[in-house]
Structure 1
Amino acid sequence: MTAPEAVVLSLAQGVTSAPLQTWIQDNVVPLILLGIAIILLWIGGRGDNAGVARRSVGLIIGLVALGIAVSGNGPEIGSFLASLITG
């Protein structure tokens, strides 16, 4: 192994996605939620309450999926849901 390869290998071993994940949780997720809230208020302001309700159900499902992805508990939640079906 040459010296540059050893340096790249040693740098790659310490690289994690934790800082990126933290940045997304701290910055991107609140901005997305703010954008969704503004859109729902805009739709509700036009008097389309049924449209707001329809979009809110999809929003709740999306937020649950986002929460599972961000928390890192996906395998445990999947096992729990599978145990509800299989017993």
Structure 2
Amino acid sequence: MTGPEVLALYAQESLSTTGLQGWIQNNIVPLVLLAIAIILLWIGGRGDNAGVARRSVGLLIGLVALGIAVSGNGPQIGNFLASLLVG
């Protein structure tokens, strides 16, 4: 077998993005959540409670979207939401 044939065979059998997805879920997501918490505490410490409330609503929507993306249940959730509107 030549080099490209071995590479093509290896690529067909074992290459995937599960390692990268796992690393992002285990490392990047907690760091983002920690940064969000620190920013909200900093804003709240300045006495801008209305600003914290405004940002928290947007963050909750973003975290719901992140949870749907990470869980892989997007189509099921979309079908459920569509059934609420259509019946």
- Alpha-carbon deviation of 1:31? 0.2
Q: Which position in structure 2 is the counterpart of 1:3?
A: 2
Deviating more after overlay: 5-14 vs 72-81: 5-14
Q: TM-score, normalised by structure 2?
A: 0.93
Q: Which position in structure 2 is the counterpart of 1:35?
A: 35
Query: Runs of 5+ in structure 2 lacking a partner?
Result: none
- Alpha-carbon deviation of 1:6? 1.6
- Alpha-carbon deviation of 1:8? 2.2
How is 1:1-87 mapped onto 2 (pairs within 5 angstroms)?
Answer: 3-13=2-12, 14-87=14-87
Q: Which runs of 4+ in 1 moved over 3 A?
A: none
CA RMSD of aligned residues (A): 1.1
Alpha-carbon separation, structure 1, partners of 2:84 and 2:5: 49
- Alpha-carbon deviation of 1:12? 1.6
Per-residue CA deviations over 1:38-79 (Å, capped at 9, x if unaligned) read 000000000000000000000000000000000011111111
Query: Runs of 5+ in structure 1 lacking a partner?
Result: none
Alpha-carbon separation, structure 2, partners of 1:58 and 1:48: 16
- Alpha-carbon deviation of 1:3? 2.3
Deviating more after overlay: 24-33 vs 10-19: 10-19
**Percent of matched pairs sharing the same residue:** 71
- Alpha-carbon deviation of 1:4? 2.8
Aligned partner of 1:33: which letter? L
